[in-house]
Amino acid sequence: MPRPDRSSGALDPRAHQALRRLDMRIVRRLEGLLHGEHLGLRLGPGSEPAEARRYLPGEDDVRHIDWAVTARTTVPHVRDLVADRELESWTLLDLSPSMDFGTAQRDKREVAIGALAAINVLTQRVGDRFGAYFLHRGRVRRWPARSGKAALTTMLATVQAAPRGDGPAAGGASLPEALTDLARAQRRRGLRVVISDFLDTPSEEGAAEAPWERPLRRLTARHQVLAIEVVDPRELDVPDIGWVTLSDPETGRSREVRLTRAVRERYREAALVQRTAVAAGLRRCGVPHLVLRTDRDWIVDMARFVVEQRRTAHRLARHTPAAPH
């Protein structure tokens, strides 16, 4: 299996070709896909309106403004048109400061961007559209849904150029709020992918559910959802190197810590509890869970996951009773 390009989060040509041979099987019955795999290519008489959302200056066409909703809310809204028989997938990519951390071959942001590229390569067919929401510096930024290789290349170049560092703005958006925005604004049934390190999950045993669970459950009630957790080995264990300065990338706070055996054991236990809590929360939400590590070949891990998903989909299809005529 080809390895990802170490210089960036994008896929090299060999990895792209390998992933194209795989097929992310969409298990749910999706709107517009009930009549086969012949996808609508253009907006036209067969198009249908999507949900109304706020107008974004510089991104949206003023000709698509929904004046009825705008008059009712006193805020400019637009209503997208979606071609009939078209699969629409949306990815929520966490670009918070903790995703810039990495001590292995690459940092978490590079793996996350590679996963974003791979998911779109795996799920796209002619005419399908993909969009993205980026959680960056305390703001949720939307990339409009488009189709084609050029659109994917432009999106990847844009996200790779996003500035690093600096904690989120005070009172800025968090992962639960980004999930809520995605669920509220994009209601047409399809695939939703959440890529994050989920580090805001409580790490105490017996703690209440994570703050992202409720909005994620609302998302899974309507869409097929996949959660991709990105992990660095130093988030699971630390070496015996004596005194170190540890910094929180989200808040910028630093602290001198002596990594004794007792401290390292407590660190490992807390990390295990947190990772277990993430897995349990996603399981309660009914979301498939893929873990990608910065010290592993994430292309291989994703390929294995896709193969297993295809086997699961095949078993479900085989044991699902046929609908009555």
Q: Do 131 and 90 contact (CB within 8 A), yes or no?
A: yes
Measured in whole angstroms, the distance separating CA 254 from the mean position of its chain's CA atoms is: 29
The span from the CA of 31 to the CA of 186, in Å, is 13
Radius of gyration of the chain (CA): 21
Q: Which CATH architecture has domain 85-318?
A: 3-Layer(aba) Sandwich (3.40)
Q: What is the DSSP string of 241-261?
A: -EEEEEE-TTT--EEEEEE-H
At which residue do the structure tokens 């017996």 appear?
206
The span from the CA of 72 to the CA of 9, in Å, is 43
Q: Do 76 and 70 contact (CB within 8 A), yes or no?
A: yes
Q: Where in the chain is the domain with CATH 3.40.50.410?
A: 85-318
Residues in the chain: 325
What tens-digit pLDDT sequence spans the chain (325 residues)?
Answer: 333 343 444 555 545 554 454 445 444 434 333 333 333 333 343 444 556 788 888 777 888 888 988 999 999 998 776 544 567 889 999 999 889 988 888 889 999 999 998 888 877 766 688 899 999 988 899 998 888 888 888 888 888 888 886 655 555 788 999 999 998 888 778 889 999 999 887 766 656 788 999 999 999 988 889 999 999 999 998 888 888 887 777 777 888 888 888 988 999 999 999 999 999 999 999 999 999 999 998 888 888 888 887 777 666 656 555 444 4
